[in-house]
Amino acid sequence: MFTSDKCLFSLYKEELIKRFGEVDIESNTQPFNFTDYYEKEFGKNLIQKLFSFSALIRQDELAEIKIITNGLENNNIGKNIKKNITHSKRKINLDPGYITLNKYILASTKNGPSRIYLNQGIYAEITLRFINKSFVPCEYTYPNYKTDEYINFLNLVRQKYKLQLRKNSNKNSIL
């Protein structure tokens, strides 16, 4: 997620927990200074953060999850924090994704040459591939996902995911 208002991280984290369960790993806050594309909508000095949720999802749930996060973005749940927040613009960007053992997938409402249509106006894109013990970016990967901070964070999430798979395989669970 990214925003120009650090206070929104905790508000939206609470909302995401209500819908998707507990956060098991949280990244540090990082500057989002890779593009000015979002300045008009979000303002300057954007900051970003990633959350990993402890509950595993089925891969076919990604479109539904993106629709939920789009609803959260558009509801502006943080609109009462500052008096100068307008109702017409999003104040936060939420891009859900998931990890498998060999890739990291992000959801988007935007089509593109590397995106695959899921349903209900939602697309999926392989953002990172796991090669030689680490995630590596694709040529089209957003710059923030190419940073050491994000790669290291997602490698940690993958390690946790691998442990969850082992634990669940002992219970004959289907993921």
Least trusted range by pLDDT, from 6-20, 22-36, 75-89 = 75-89
pLDDT in tens, 163-174: 999 998 765 444
* Residue 55 scores a pLDDT above 60: yes
Nearest to 45 by CA among 56, 55, 53, 36: 36
Least trusted range by pLDDT, from 31-35, 60-64, 157-161 = 31-35
* Residue 80 scores a pLDDT above 60: no
* Residue 85 scores a pLDDT above 60: no
Return the pLDDT at 117. Answer: 98
Long-range contacts of 99-105 (CB under 8 A, 24+ apart): 99/154, 99/157, 99/158, 99/161, 100/59, 101/130, 101/158, 101/161, 101/162, 101/165, 102/129, 102/130, 103/127, 103/128, 103/129, 103/130, 104/128, 104/130, 104/135, 104/145, 104/154, 105/59, 105/62
Q: Note the residue count of the chain.
A: 175
Domain boundaries, the chain: 2-169
Q: Taking all residues of the chain, what is their mean pLDDT, rounded to a whole number?
A: 90
Return the pLDDT at 84. Answer: 44
